[in-house]
Amino acid sequence: MSIHVESHGRPGRRRLLRVVLTGTVALGAGLVAGSPRTPDTPVAGGPGRTRPATPASALRELETGNARWRTLHERHPDETRTVRQTLVGGQHPFAVVLGCVDSRVPPELVFDQGLGDLLTVRSAGEVLDEAVLGSIAYGVLELGIPLIVVLGHQSCGAVAAAVRAAGDGAPLPGHMQYLVDQIRPAIDRSLRGAALIDAAITANVGLVRARLAAEPELAAKIAAGDLAVVGARYELTSQRVRRLG
């Protein structure tokens, strides 16, 4: 996997965020708790299941879950009464999924995972802002999650709207213009029509992944082998998630 590194870090602000989040966990003990996992941590969802604790094992679990989903063999794991009661005492998700807000692409279903398995962060077009970055950093730095997946998808309405707005120069109403400004670098103006939008969807995933991988705290985890940041794309027509890059 190739990761392009660029500097977007704000170390002081990130450190402050970690202090604030750590304080929140302490004040709300029992509501939100977590700690780095060790390999083969048992999962409350059923006998024989283990919590992935490395980037590679977490990615394999997501790939296996998506295979179940697209072949209509979903298990809908980790939804039992026992799991619900166990999760009152803390959470240990094994992957962060940054996905789009599109109602057709809920990560827990697409990857056939259940309660406590994924830390999902969703914004239109997977666009990053401080709240999104802070949420992802919380999952990695405070909960010890070893994998971040940036999940784009076929026929993304947010990217399509950004492409159209960038083309005709007419600003979108309200805060939606922020989406256009963030997605604009992914637009290849040498293309036209559906090909332009489709290429922008894929390019946008790559740009978001690169920005996350360049965050100083995340980059240090990647260098140590404790974290992977991967891009992926969900195809609505086949329900397959394919890895990008």
Q: What is the pLDDT of residues 100-147, one digit of tens each?
A: 999 999 999 999 999 999 999 999 999 999 999 999 999 999 999 999
Arithmetic mean of pLDDT, 86-98: 96
Q: Sheet of 118-122: strands edge to edge?
A: 118-122, 95-99, 147-153, 228-234, 241-244
Per-residue pLDDT for 32 more than 60? no
CA 121 – CA 195 distance, rounded (Å): 27
Q: Tell me: pLDDT of 83 over 60.
A: yes
pLDDT at residue 50, rounded to an integer: 84
196 or 17, greater pLDDT: 196
Question: If you average pLDDT over every residue of the chain, what do you get?
Answer: 85
The residue written with tokens 């697409």 in the block is 110
Question: Per mean pLDDT, which range of 19-28, 44-53, 92-101, 185-194 is the poorest?
Answer: 19-28
pLDDT average, residue stretch 145-172: 94
Per-residue pLDDT at 197 exceeds 50: yes
Residue 173 has pLDDT above 80, yes or no: yes
C-alpha 223/C-alpha 220 separation (Å) is 5
Beta bridge partners of 103: none
Neighbours of 35 (CB within 10 A): 10
- Judged against a pLDDT cut of 60, whether residue 88 lies above it is answered with yes
pLDDT in tens, 206-241: 999 999 999 999 999 999 999 999 999 999 999 999
Percent of the chain with pLDDT strictly greater than 70: 80
pLDDT at 199 over 60: yes
